[in-house]
């Protein structure tokens, strides 16, 4: 689980890839990590480890979400001595949230768990703590790394982007909802990355 949540490409995709199919992370990436960590296990056992790790990540995420929806942290009920009467304390709020989530699910379906982005709650937290402009900048940098173009295609897109700027008064945005605007911005980002690589290399 630690290797998964510290894997930079996995984090980038989980947080910033709008087109992400969660199974790419939960099945493919986690599956590869389990194979690397436990090469001597049978394939069925590796799959069992993968499923347990993804289920644990999602239980924690859903537990945090449940705690957040219930109003955050909890304080002990002052003056009570019976553990039955005490409300959850700050130290057990996450555990209590996970218990509530787990108990509300009678049968955990692994296919459904695999379809949950394990970084969904982290995305929600980051989105709240970063300004919209900063969020777009980070998303643009990460999106630029995923672009797969030839240099000629990127140059042609950059020319179109210059026309776009003349017409609209701004450069195309890589986070735009319009696919053509986004593609032009990808051309610019691709060329910028190539120039940086040549300068660094």
**Number of separate domains in the chain:** 2
- pLDDT recorded at residue 193: 85
Considering the domain architecture, whether residues 56 and 12 belong to the same structural domain is answered as: yes
pLDDT tens for residues 145-167? 666 778 888 899 999 899 999 99
- pLDDT recorded at residue 63: 65
- pLDDT recorded at residue 5: 83
- Does the reported pTM lie above 0.85? no
Closest CA to 32 of 50, 16, 20: 50
Query: 83-103 as b/e, with b when 16 or more CB fall inside 10 Å?
Result: eeeeebeeeebbebbbebbee
Q: Are 188 and 172 in contact (CB under 8 A)?
A: yes
Considering the domain architecture, whether residues 122 and 136 belong to the same structural domain is answered as: no
pLDDT tens for residues 34-75? 999 999 999 999 999 998 888 888 777 766 666 666 554 434
Q: Other C-beta atoms within 10 Å of 145: how many? A: 12
Domain limits at 152? 132-200
Domain-ending residue, one of 106, 129, 152: 129
Q: How far apart are CA 71 and CA 68, in angstroms?
A: 5
pLDDT tens for residues 90-132? 566 656 655 555 544 445 566 777 777 777 777 676 767 778 7
Domain-ending residue, one of 129, 148, 169: 129
């Amino acid at each position: 689980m630690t290797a998964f949540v510290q894997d930079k490409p996995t984090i980038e995709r989980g947080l910033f890839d709008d087109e992400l199919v969660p199974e790419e992370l939960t099945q493919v990436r986690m599956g590869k990590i389990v194979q690397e960590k436990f090469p001597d296990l049978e394939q069925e056992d590796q799959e069992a480890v993968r499923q347990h790790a993804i289920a644990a990540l999602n239980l924690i995420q859903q537990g945090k979400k449940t705690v957040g929806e219930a109003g955050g942290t909890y304080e002990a009920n002052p003056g009570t001595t019976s553990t039955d009467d005490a409300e959850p304390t700050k130290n057990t709020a996450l555990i209590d949230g996970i218990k509530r989530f787990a108990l509300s699910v009678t049968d955990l379906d692994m296919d459904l768990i695999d379809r949950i982005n394990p970084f969904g709650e982290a995305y929600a937290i980051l989105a709240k703590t970063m300004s919209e402009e900063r969020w777009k900048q980070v998303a643009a940098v990460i999106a630029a790394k995923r672009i797969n173009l030839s240099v000629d295609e990127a140059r042609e897109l950059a020319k179109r982007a210059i026309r776009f700027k003349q017409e609209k008064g701004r450069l195309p945005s890589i986070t735009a909802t319009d696919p053509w605007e986004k593609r032009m911005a990808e051309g610019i980002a691709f060329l910028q990355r190539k120039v940086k690589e040549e300068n660094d290399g």
